[in-house]
Amino acid sequence: MEKIKKRLSKKMTTIMILVIIIIMLTSGFAGCLGALDSDDKVDEPVMTYDYNEEWFNDSHQFTNVLRMGHMTQYNTDYEANNSTLTVHLNFTYRFEERPFGQSGYLNLTLEPSNSTGEIYYSQEWVGNEAFVNETIVLTEVYDAVQLRIRAEGSDGTVSGEQQDYYDLQSYYSFETLNYTA
């Protein structure tokens, strides 16, 4: 009789442990399982984009026999807020070699408006006539952007050469992502 009680006690203990484990697993999964109604819809954020486009054109022809400098700048009207900015620069230029001095140049710099030294992009061109297409993509732009144009050149008609010049067309495309719920 004692043996039967011990066996029965061991079986009961084993069964009770299994029941407790099953109850714990069932209660653990109970929060994950819910009624799946077709009326329950999850509101996902709607992503919308703001687009803004701007154009700026500039040209300069050097008319002085001595080498002269020219500078101009363009500030975008759009106040970016975590935007992606694509800038297309299309231009022609000519800076001929001069007999008594170096040829002129064209320098284009993209930087934040009222910049304290941060530069997004800067490139300089020199030499004979050329046509250039540049595309610059800037991400995480948080301010208006400024295009600074610096050039030096001269008029070579006295020595039988042509005038230095540049002719620039620029296009700015801002894309800003907006989240709404």
Q: 46-180: what fold?
A: Jelly Rolls (2.60.120)
Whether the per-residue pLDDT at 89 is higher than 70: the answer is yes
Do residues 158 and 66 touch, judged by C-beta distance below 8 A?
A: no
C-alpha Rg value of the chain to the nearest Å: 36
What average pLDDT score do residues 118-123 get?
Answer: 93
What is the per-residue pLDDT for 155? 82
In tens, the pLDDT along 17-34 reads 888 888 887 777 766 555
| Domains of the chain by residue range | 46-180
Buried b / exposed e over 47-71, threshold 16 CB at 10 Å, is eeeeebebebebebebeeeebbebe
- Predicted structure pTM score: 0.69
In tens, the pLDDT along 44-53 reads 778 888 899 9
